Amino acid sequence: MAKMGKKYADSVKLIEKNKLYDPSEALALVCQTSKAKFDETIEVHVRLGVDSRHADQQVRGAVVLPNGTGKSVKVLVFAKGDNVQAALDAGADYAGGAEYAEKIQNENWFDFDVVIASPDMMGVIGRLGKVLGPKGLMPSPKAGTVTPDVVRAVNEAKAGKIEYRLDKTNIIHCPIGKASFGAEKLQQNFDTLLGAIIKARPAAAKGQYIKSCVIASTMGPGIKINQGKLG
């Protein structure tokens, strides 16, 4: 069995084993368990009572966190004509067309966190699905990253828009900010994310929707939340 580090062991002592915490308690506690020398990211892990193998039970979307993620996001926009300059003026780090698709394919270039595309550019980036898809970077209409309004999409990405989606084990993993945010701002972000996930419940989902919810800092232990308090 791997040996616990001293800071991790100290954090574990703060958590009552098998206790399901109210969200407000858990978010206050996760700030206390964040003991690393850097500003740790606070992550939420939600297991849903759906089966991601079925198309009618997929849960995916995007939401702008009211307090952002605390992370500086690099944005790449695929666009034509006036939209290129408009995207750059809105704060995009890169904007253009086929030259960026070639750079990704030929140079294995990934100096960006979010990809946005206007609908008329899907022919260009369609062939990038095999490289962008596995990294979770392929733009999609459902996530709002394929849109004629690239300016709005850039603004949302820079403001702290995150995408949530089920993995193969029916769990959604999302950041909701940094430990330095404090419990109040983390609570606002948490409520916004969970509200979006609950609203996205598929009609085909039967029985209990939220099976479990755990929050943790980058280097800290998981804190279990009472899913009965999540709506």
Residue with the bigger pLDDT between 148 and 143: it is 148
- The answer, yes or no, to whether residue 8 has pLDDT greater than 50, is yes
| Average pLDDT for 89-98 | 96
DSSP output for the chain = -PPPPHHHHHHHHTS-TT--B-HHHHHHHHHHT--SSS-PEEEEEEEESS-TTSGGG--EEEEE-TT--SS---EEEE--THHHHHHHHTT-SEEESHHHHHHHHHH-----SEEEE-GGGHHHHGGGHHHHGGGT----TTTT-B-S-HHHHHHHHHHTEEEEE--TTSEEEEEEEEGGG-HHHHHHHHHHHHHHHHHT--TT--S-SEEEEEEEETTSPPEEE-GGG--
Q: With 50 as the cut, is the pLDDT of residue 1 above it?
A: no
pLDDT at 3: 58
What pLDDT is attached to residue 16?
Answer: 82
Residue 171 has pLDDT above 60, yes or no: yes
Q: Which pLDDT score is estimated for 143?
A: 85
Q: What are the structure tokens assigned to 108, written together?
A: 């294995």
pLDDT band at 103 (very low <50, low <70, confident <90, very high): very high
Report whether pLDDT(163) > 80.
Answer: yes
**pLDDT higher than threshold 70 for residue 2:** no
Q: Of 177, 224, 168, 171, give the one whose Cα is nearest residue 197.
A: 171
Mean pLDDT of 48-64: 91
CA atoms of 126 and 138, how far apart (whole Å): 9
At 99 the pLDDT is 95
The pLDDT score that the predictor gives to residue 5 is 73
The average confidence (pLDDT) of the chain is 91
Q: Is the pLDDT of residue 39 over 90?
A: yes
Does residue 52 have a pLDDT over 70? yes
Residue 100 has pLDDT above 80, yes or no: yes
**pLDDT at site 12:** 74
Q: Looking at the predicted structure, is the pLDDT value of residue 15 above 80?
A: yes
pLDDT tens-place string over residues 185-224: 999 999 999 999 999 999 998 889 999 999 999 998 999 9
* pLDDT the model gives residue 231: 59
